[in-house]
Amino acid sequence: MPSSKPQSNHDMTWIIGGVVILLIVLFARQSLIPAKVDKRGIEPPADAFFQSNIANEPGPLLVKFGAEWCGPCKSLDKALASYSESKDSLKVVFVDTDQQPGLAAHYGVRGIPHSFLFKNGKIIDDRIGSMSIGQIKKWVASQNDL
């Protein structure tokens, strides 16, 4: 019956080498995935849609990334429609990830709906998932930068 112990120092070297390579790959992968706080340093894209609808907006605005086929996006759209009718609302911009995949990739949108609060073309905060109108109001109110 074969033993599960390494047969020689050569086998142990391969095991250690494999573990080291795995750790390097995991560390490199983690370094490539931006953390939430790093998003605030993302340079605005030279995208015409972004420039005309988001970057040139003088005040704060809420940008929602989603798609027509997405159920949670439709739910959030209803809440955002109600929110936009309230007196304390921000301008809301809807970005369809199917029509603007480059813009979605630029901001690291991996799941939808993904909402961002922008001010002067820069990200203040973001949230992933659907929200109720109350959650939207609370989120916007929690941002002192707006």
Which residues are tagged catalytic?
70, 73
Helix (H, G, I), strand (E, B) or coil at 127: strand
Whether the Cβ atoms of residue 98 and residue 68 lie closer than 8 Å to each other: yes
96 Cβ contact partners less than 8 Å away, ≥ 6 residues apart? 66, 67, 68
CB-side neighbour CA atoms (13 Å) of 2 = 3
Cα distance between residue 29 and residue 4, in whole Å:
31
Whether the Cβ atoms of residue 131 and residue 79 lie closer than 8 Å to each other: yes
Whether the Cβ atoms of residue 56 and residue 109 lie closer than 8 Å to each other: no
The DSSP secondary-structure symbol of 129 reads S
